[in-house]
Amino acid sequence: MMRFLLTCNVFLFLSFTPLLSEDFISKMEYAKMLYSNPRGIGCNKCHGEKAEGAIISKYISRGKEVTLSAPAITSVSKERFSQALTSQHKVMPTYFLTWQEIDSLYYYVSSEVKK
């Protein structure tokens, strides 16, 4: 029993320590992580790693080549950004993000220098 409690304490100590140090994960690191893993398909998969926009796919429809792409989102306004993330689209999935998460994503896509 003693041994078990001891192990538990060590475990608790180890698992909580990172949260206490402020620079455990920077604002940019968190925002970048969320951008590629927003509880759904990563934004990077369609909009590109740095939100610069990207081609999703090319296909032939009625004998013509059609290009499906996601726009650059590095300079959209905060209002437009929030609007896009809280509405339904044809290609882009619907996300269920908190305002803090939307803030963080906006911080990432609109930052001049992305780390």
Specify the residue, 64 or 90, whose C-beta has the smaller distance to ligand HEC: 90
Four-residue CA torsion sign, 73, 74, 78, 82: positive
Q: Cα dist. 109→10, 64, 83, 98, 104 in Å?
A: 39, 33, 15, 17, 9
Report the half-sphere exposure of 94 (CA within 13 A, side-chain side): 5
Q: Does 93 bind ligand HEC (CB under 6 A)?
A: yes
Determine the interface stretch with ligand HEC among 7-15, 17-25, 59-67, 79-87 (rule: CB under 6 A): 79-87
Q: Which of residues 2-31 bind ligand HEC (CB under 6 A)?
A: none
How big is the chain by its Cα radius of gyration, in Å?
20
Q: Does 92 bind ligand HEC (CB under 6 A)?
A: yes
Determine the interface stretch with ligand HEC among 4-12, 13-21, 24-32, 65-73 (rule: CB under 6 A): 65-73
Q: Does 39 bind ligand HEC (CB under 6 A)?
A: no
* Contact yes or no for 27/11 (Cβ under 8 A): no
Give the footprint of ligand HEC on this chain (CB under 6 A): 38, 41, 43, 45-47, 56, 70-71, 73, 76, 80-81, 84-85, 89-93, 95, 105
